[in-house]
């Protein structure tokens, strides 16, 4: 049996370690809440992919614009292509996740079930990757932005920081780069082309799309009309 002083020392050490861990967790929660609250009102200054491109010496092009300065066809195209339940889910589309798991398990082309909210949380606060830690943090930040930002701000941030080409971030930069117009002037066809390249923005070109991207863009354009006519984007109005 160990001496009492040794056992007491171990309990004291455990208590100190536990106290440090608790304080670290509380600090992390407080910091993340403040971070999300700041981004509720301030444009996101930098993301991991932007920093990666800048460090590599690549030109980074971006121009932050308010959601009101973006053509309505753009968020409609994003909803039609990426997240048809955007206005009704709480940040997670579990049916889409289940469908993605089944599709991937069947050996078909891999695809995720992430919502626009999840993608925004990842792009604004985290690094690329597939680790359980990053996915857990993504879920945590998704809950926070859904609670603190609301749908219009989530869509605004998403459209301003999404990678839309080599060194091109946000729809304003993409509109100018591909079509030489502002985001406010994008037509449904142009918005659909931009949405069609989002899964592979480095390999695809919205101005000169290949046949597969053209077909996909035409399908998205049809969905834009459905989103408009059925009020699926009602949370943004």
37 with 50, same domain: the answer is no
Neighbours of 228 (CB within 10 A): 15
Number of helices (H) and strands (E), helices first, in the chain?
10, 3
Tell me the β-bridge partners of 169: 62, 163
Q: What pLDDT sits at residue 113? A: 76
171/126 same-domain check: yes
Question: Residue 132 contacts by C-beta under 8 Å, 6 or more apart in sequence?
Answer: none
pLDDT score at 16? 82
Q: Give me the domain span that covers residue 9.
A: 1-42
**Long-range contacts from 108-112, C-beta under 8 angstroms, 24+ separation:** none
Model confidence at 31, pLDDT cuts 50, 70, 90, reads very high
Domain count, the chain: 2
Taking 90 as the threshold, does the pLDDT of residue 201 lie above it?
Answer: yes
Each residue's pLDDT tens digit, 101-115: 666 555 555 456 799
48 and 119 both lie in a single domain: yes
CATH number for position 54: 1.10.3810.10
Q: Which residue has the higher pLDDT, 2 or 28?
A: 28
Is the pLDDT reported for residue 93 higher than 60?
yes
């Amino acid at each position: 049996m160990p001496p009492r002083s040794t056992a007491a020392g171990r309990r004291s050490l455990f208590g100190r370690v536990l106290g440090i861990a608790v304080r670290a967790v509380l600090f992390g929660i407080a910091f993340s809440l403040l971070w999300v609250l700041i981004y509720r009102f301030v444009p996101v200054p930098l993301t991991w992919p932007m920093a990666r491109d800048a460090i590599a010496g690549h030109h980074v092009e971006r121009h932050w614009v308010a959601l009101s300065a973006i053509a309505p066809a753009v968020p409609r195209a994003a909803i039609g292509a990426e997240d048809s339940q955007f206005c009704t889910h709480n940040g997670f589309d579990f049916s889409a996740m289940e469908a993605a798991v089944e599709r991937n398990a069947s050996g078909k082309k891999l695809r995720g079930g992430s919502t626009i909210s999840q993608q925004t949380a990842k792009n604004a606060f985290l690094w690329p990757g597939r680790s359980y830690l990053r996915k857990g943090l993504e879920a945590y930040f998704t809950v926070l932005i859904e609670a603190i930002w609301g749908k219009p701000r989530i869509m605004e941030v998403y459209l301003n920081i999404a990678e839309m080409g080599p060194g091109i971030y946000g729809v304003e930069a993409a509109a100018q780069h591909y079509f030489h117009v502002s985001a406010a002037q994008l037509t449904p066809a142009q918005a659909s082309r931009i949405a069609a390249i989002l899964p592979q923005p480095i390999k695809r070109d919205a101005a000169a799309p290949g046949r597969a991207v053209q077909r996909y863009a035409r399908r998205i354009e049809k969905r834009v009309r459905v989103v408009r006519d059925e009020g699926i984007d009602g949370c943004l109005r």
